[in-house]
Amino acid sequence: MKPPRISMNRLALDLRVPVTRIAETVHERRGITPDIMCAFSGNPVGIGWSVC
């Protein structure tokens, strides 16, 4: 299985998060937070805690 070739900028735009958040996660300076996990799963995060 080939990994998808997508830029950090494109991923950030698609997930509607700052590109710095994606870059920090890729370079292991930031962990994967619940809001990023929900964004990866395709479920938007509302105000406060939500369940993906």
Query: pLDDT digit of tens for each residue in the chain (52 aa)?
Result: 777 788 999 988 888 888 998 899 889 898 888 877 877 776 655 545 555 5
Burial class of residue 23 in the structure, from the number of CB atoms within 10 Å of its CB (0-12 exposed, 13-18 middle, 19+ buried): middle
* DSSP 8-state secondary structure symbol assigned to residue 51: -
